[in-house]
């Protein structure tokens, strides 16, 4: 089962995704794969907030900012990947501050997530909808928007379920279809 959870900022995606996996994952350890780099004060605060939310739940956390294709994880009852918008930025802008070709980034991101999906019975992916505003952005940001849009479309294809969370309310977009790919 692959379940993609999308929505806007501050809409309760993480809380929903955690809750869903806690209920639908089997008994045993759940893995939380964190993609956000804790390098700014705001990022550190956000990470701490998510850690508080997960406290008391049965998650073990792994940090992986990019290169999911090379990540082999231990046996688990379910995986929560959070979040694809950070992963996409990390993959696109690269470790050395050089921008990758977006097609290469697209393959690395979706291939990496597919690799994760092979290592669990239940993968929940948290992504973000960032493309419903004006596009007066720089070429680099425009490239990011396009890439994340394509990543989200591929994720939806490989997912059995897609849910958009609107202020904490799950709105089903795709449900229980055959896995494509």
Partner 1 sequence: MVLIVGGAYQGKLDYAKNQFPDVEWIDGRDCEEEEIFSCGGIHHFHIYVKRYMKRNIEQQIIIRNPQIVIVSSEIGYGIVPVDRFEREYRELTGRICTRLAGEARQVHRVVCGIGTVIKG
Binding site for partner 1 (CB under 8 A): 7-12, 42, 129-134, 137, 141, 144-145, 166-169, 171
Task: Give least dist CB 12 to partner 1, A.
Answer: 5
Q: Are strands 169-174 and 161-166 parallel, antiparallel or unpaired?
A: antiparallel
Nearer to partner 1, 118 or 135 (CB): 135
Q: Extract the tokens encoding 67.
A: 């290169």
Continuous H helices in 120-160: 139-158
Angle at 103 between CA 73 and CA 177, to 5 degrees: 60
Nearer to partner 1, 23 or 132 (CB): 132
Residue 95: CB atoms within 10 A of its CB come to 10
Task: Give least dist CB 27 to partner 1, A.
Answer: 29
Nearer to partner 1, 118 or 138 (CB): 138
Largest CA-CA distance found in the chain, in angstroms, rounded: 47
Three-state secondary-structure class, residue 170: strand
Nearer to partner 1, 58 or 145 (CB): 145
Task: Give least dist CB 166 to partner 1, A.
Answer: 6
Task: Give least dist CB 41 to partner 1, A.
Answer: 10
Task: Give least dist CB 80 to partner 1, A.
Answer: 19
* Percent helix, percent strand, percent coil in the chain, to nearest 5: 40, 20, 40
Contact call for residues 82 and 62 (beta carbons, < 8 A)? no
């Amino acid at each position: 089962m692959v379940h993609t959870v999308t929505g806007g900022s501050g809409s309760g995606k993480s809380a929903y995704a955690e809750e869903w996996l806690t209920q639908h994952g089997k008994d045993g350890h759940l893995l939380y794969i964190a993609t956000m780099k804790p390098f700014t004060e705001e990022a550190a605060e956000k990470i701490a907030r998510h850690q508080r939310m997960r406290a008391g739940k049965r998650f073990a956390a792994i940090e992986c900012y990019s290169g999911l294709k090379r990540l082999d994880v231990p046996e688990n009852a379910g995986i929560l990947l959070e979040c694809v918008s950070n992963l996409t930025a990390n993959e696109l802008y690269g470790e050395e501050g050089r921008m990758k070709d977006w097609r290469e980034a697209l393959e690395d991101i979706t291939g990496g997530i597919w690799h994760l999906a092979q290592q669990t019975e239940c993968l929940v992916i948290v992504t973000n909808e960032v493309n419903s505003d004006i596009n007066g952005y720089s070429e680099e940001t425009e490239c990011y928007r396009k890439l994340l849009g394509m990543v989200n479309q591929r994720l939806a294809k490989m997912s059995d379920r897609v849910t958009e969370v609107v202020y904490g309310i799950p709105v089903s977009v795709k449900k229980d279809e055959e896995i494509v790919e």
